[in-house]
Amino acid sequence: MPAQKTTALRLPHIVALYVGAVLGCGILILPGLTADIAGSGSIISWVLMSAISVPLALTMGFLAQKYPNEGGVSWFVRIAFNEQAGSLIGWFFLLSTIIGVPVLALTGAGYIAAAFGFSELVRIGIAGGVILLGLLLNYLGMKLSGQIQVIVVVTTIGILLGSFLGSLRAIDPANYIPVLPFGWMSVGYATSLIFWSFIGWEAVTHITVEFQDPKRDVVRATLIASAIISTLYILTAFAVVGTHSYGSGLSDVSLLRVIQLSFGSHGAVCTGFAALFVCIAPSITYIGAASRLGYSLSKTGYAPLFLSRLSGRYHTPVGGIIFLFICFSLIFLIYGTGLLPLTTLIQLPNATFILTYLGGCAAGLILLKDNRFTRIVSGVSLVLTGIIFFFVSFAMIFPVLITICWWIYLKIKMK
């Protein structure tokens, strides 16, 4: 994108973008769902995924540090392999975002609705408001978005830490025994679901051209954000299992119960704010990443020219923002008519996000080969992500459909 839009974001903004991108709606719903699957063994799943996420995050960080570009992982794959492979990875990420962002907004809004007794229509309205805010902030520019993100992330961390500390008095050590009530396979399946909670590192790679000093700050921000995110996830899982805030009627709103145990009669208000901030933060980052990726794909000829349109006033990718608005509206329409429930929508982008990481890690083996450490990190990330991919089930349908659409688009374009 034009040079005058870069050099806006400093280390605190970058850390906030990373935390905001990764610490999404997964923390609202997955601690309870994974506890249903693996019991107390789900804590092991969260620890495992926290460890696995470090090389993944570092690989994305090293690549973004060395090759900052709006195309993000798509650009890395493009220069490591070829244009076609890079464009397919770009389409995977872009079309994952059009489902992923409404899902996280609906999940957060669901917590607010449950806490205050709102109807399903109000829930959809709140989710739509979250997305409109994300679209507006990205239209106005990343500097303002980064400043808002710092406030949102700090508030979210405060609420989550307060919830954990408040729940300590309700924890029963007996709930942690046995450690593996359903065996190691349940831990593996729970870990594959938790991958959803650790995606987001790839999203910030699309915004590195907006960083003031990417070579200095990207890896530093990655490590700081990784420590913050892993700590919050593990503490939340520890509280959910220890207070047995899962099971029939509880798993989908496990964090709601933990917060109510922590704050008593004020729990509903705290839950509403927690859900609001948790879903706003990644919405801002993913909308920014997807709109900039659309710009990059369009400029290289692998997406419609409309996506390369920029705002004359703010020099932001207004074409991509309009495209996302249309797609988000369609997803809300599909959800509102009951054609696809949230439990199905939340799983569809999982395979494409994992494939995006596989592409990035493979590119890292080639682009980071000059340094032994970064090459090892990329290799470890590739193997670990490949293992997780084996646990993907029907969600493989989504990348297959995207690949077919991508192939048809290229055939039409070449005529």
Reported confidence tier of residue 313, pLDDT bands at 50, 70, 90: confident
Reported confidence tier of residue 27, pLDDT bands at 50, 70, 90: confident
Least confident of 213-217, 267-271, 362-366: 267-271
Q: What is the mean pLDDT of the chain?
A: 86
- Structure pTM? 0.82
Tokens of 100: 């992923």
Distances from the Cα of 313 to the Cα of 49, 76, 185, 290, 361, angstroms: 42, 30, 54, 20, 37
Residue-level pLDDT at 70: 86
Distances from the Cα of 336 to the Cα of 22, 98, 128, 303, angstroms: 26, 16, 12, 29
For the chain, which residues make up each domain, given as ranges? 3-414
Residue-level pLDDT at 281: 78
Helices (H), 300-347: 318-336, 342-345
Q: Which residue reads 């992923």 in tokens?
A: 100
Q: Are 50 and 234 in contact (CB under 8 A)?
A: yes
Least confident of 232-246, 276-290, 305-319, 353-367: 276-290
Instruction: Tell me how far apart the terminal alpha carbons of the chain are, to the nearest angstrom.
Output: 29
- Reference 321, options 347, 342, 295; nearest CA is 295
Higher pLDDT, 119 or 413: 119
The residues near 98 (Cβ < 8 Å, ≥ 6 apart) are 290, 324, 327, 328, 331
Residue-level pLDDT at 347: 75
* pLDDT tens track for 281-308: 788 888 988 999 999 999 888 998 999 9
Reported confidence tier of residue 317, pLDDT bands at 50, 70, 90: very high
The fold of 3-414 is Amino acid/polyamine transporter I (1.20.1740)
